[in-house]
Chain A
């Protein structure tokens, strides 16, 4: 059961804009095993959403490869075989725009069913949509509602139902709860974890919320301006954060209990601004804000090295 579901190799995605080339993703290596949750953390400009969109096929990589269960899916969704489209789904961040406001829930859920399942009888499709709603704990009368008639949490649950409609085995979750309140977030995360267990799903979970990541992911990778700074297994990662950016992130998180306060690194405070991705600093992209900066940092970009068991860091300190 240790098979690799998705492997991203040296992925690069550059965008040409009027202001220059944006190196949104600049050399990423990620490996997600079946049945596990891989967390990808980063702030704005880090490129985490671009990784998600490239993996689902919305963008074609500038270079690098994405392998899904052995198949090369780097070509973008148009060239992707239908069975992979069925098996690899995505849940978007903004519940407001990820559902068509001019369509009812029933019509929204029917689309993936009609495309991928060989169900053709009308009554069977209706039954399946009711079952999908039941899975996300929504009553059947939601079928006739429009998205504008429900709250953000419920819209996101419809999004989950839509993603599950094709019986996928891998779901990319792009900040699924960032727009939601904490109490609804807990419910949705609980639901997602339950589905993972019951349906043996693999997740690529993208977020900026490290506290959430701590409780959800088995492996974590932190991105900054298109590159991974540090990646490790979750427990090890939080026990021993190595990269100064990771430490800065951890020290900025708002927490609610004293126990958590203890865990936050004290010696590093957030400072400086995130540079624009059009204007990435030379050498290590973090040097403009790094409290532990050395001379070499502004000249040479560090390589990723393995420190201890599967704990990788990209920093001249190591």
Chain B
């Protein structure tokens, strides 16, 4: 049994080596590190929002017309909106909703899209693969924002329905991504070796092909965070997402857009908020992509 523990020792040291190798690949591009720092910063904001936000009461039903539409000051770093609510606090809380929505959407679409893609790629039986891929094609043919708008307009406006709408538009991209990998791996020797030795299709799909998709899927998820947040903000910009008084980046910008350019702070800061979170995940996602990519040289 000594030999087993030796291999376990190697396992853990291999894990450490993996981490340092992955960090090396991630950090080649300094922008990825910027992305990572921003993402960490955003996560801190999310977790400690009640503590960090200076005026947490602004996020609920709160009206203070005395302090309405004040420009940025020491008391209200981002100013106040027309109801007197502190924009900084609302922006921080709005991050929570945006991120939460993005996470839920990805947790819905990724498994569904992946499973469909795996099956479509591996079972080249036209009934399975053709049906799945053609359905996916139909959904992909419509630009995601428009599709989400269409779904949302049929349902009652609200955060939950917005998530549903984005998921409907988003799942086929995962299917396509995984289909590409699955269908190309299907013809590789190692899959053939597994088939002729008697491995079940379930095993081949989920234990052998799926690990090969790990890199592209995780990269896509990291980048998708930015996209789903953007689409969510777009939906709420037109009133189809979170409803008042829930703070939401898109609706904050929408409300404030009527008052530009006089009350510029009401629109500008939420907009910058959107930009920052999307940028953070894009840079971070690029780094993740590098991390899973091939090593050069040697």
Using CB atoms and an 8 Å cutoff, list the residues of chain A in contact with chain B.
53, 56-58, 77, 82, 85-86, 89-90, 92-94, 97-103, 106-107, 111-112, 115-116, 123, 126-127, 130, 140-141, 143-145, 162, 166
Task: Count A-B contacts at CB 8 Å.
Answer: 74
- Which of A100, A102, A141 meets B7, CB within 8 Å? A141
Contact at B189–A94, with CB atoms within 8 Å?
Answer: yes
Contact at B10–A77, with CB atoms within 8 Å?
Answer: no
Rounded to whole Å, the gap between the CB of A61 and the closest CB of chain B is 15
Contact at B214–A102, with CB atoms within 8 Å?
Answer: yes
Residues of chain B with a CB closer than 8 A to A140's CB: 3, 6-7
Give the complex CA separation of A101 and B198 in angstroms.
Answer: 20
Contact at B190–A77, with CB atoms within 8 Å?
Answer: no
Interface presence of B47 (CB below 8 A): no
Question: A89 with B197: in contact, given A100-B208, A103-B208, A141-B6 (CB under 8 Å)?
Answer: yes
Residues of chain A with a CB closer than 8 A to B188's CB: 97
Q: Which B residue's beta carbon lies closest to that of A129? A: B7
- For chain B, the count of residues having a C-beta within 8 Å of the partner chain is 25
Contact at B193–A162, with CB atoms within 8 Å?
Answer: yes
Give the complex CA separation of A127 and B5 in angstroms.
Answer: 11
Question: A102 with B193: in contact, given A111-B199, A111-B203, A140-B6 (CB under 8 Å)?
Answer: no
Give the complex CA separation of A301 and B1 in angstroms.
Answer: 64
Rounded to whole Å, the gap between the CB of B279 and the closest CB of chain A is 31
Contact at A85–B7, with CB atoms within 8 Å?
Answer: no
Q: Which B residue's beta carbon lies closest to that of A108? A: B190
Contact at A98–B189, with CB atoms within 8 Å?
Answer: yes
Residues of chain A with a CB closer than 8 A to B214's CB: 102
- Which of B11, B196, B197, B212 meets A100, CB within 8 Å? B212
Contact at A144–B189, with CB atoms within 8 Å?
Answer: no
Contact at A130–B197, with CB atoms within 8 Å?
Answer: no
Contact at B4–A126, with CB atoms within 8 Å?
Answer: yes
Rounded to whole Å, the gap between the CB of B11 and the closest CB of chain A is 5
Contact at A97–B190, with CB atoms within 8 Å?
Answer: yes
Contact at A58–B192, with CB atoms within 8 Å?
Answer: yes
Apart from A123-B4, A143-B10, list 4 A-B contacts with CB within 8 A: A97-B190, A102-B214, A111-B194, A144-B10
Give the complex CA separation of A145 and B99 in angstroms.
Answer: 37
B161-173: CB near A (< 8 Å → 1, else 0) gives 0000000000000
Q: Which of B191-215 contact A (CB under 8 A)?
A: 192-199, 203, 207-208, 211-212, 214
Contact at A56–B196, with CB atoms within 8 Å?
Answer: yes
Residues of chain A with a CB closer than 8 A to B207's CB: 107
Contact at A97–B4, with CB atoms within 8 Å?
Answer: no
Residues of chain B with a CB closer than 8 A to A98's CB: 189-190, 193
Q: Which of B84-117 contact A (CB under 8 A)?
A: none
Rounded to whole Å, the gap between the CB of B217 and the closest CB of chain A is 12
Rounded to whole Å, the gap between the CB of A95 and the closest CB of chain B is 9
Q: Which B residue's beta carbon lies closest to that of A115? A: B198
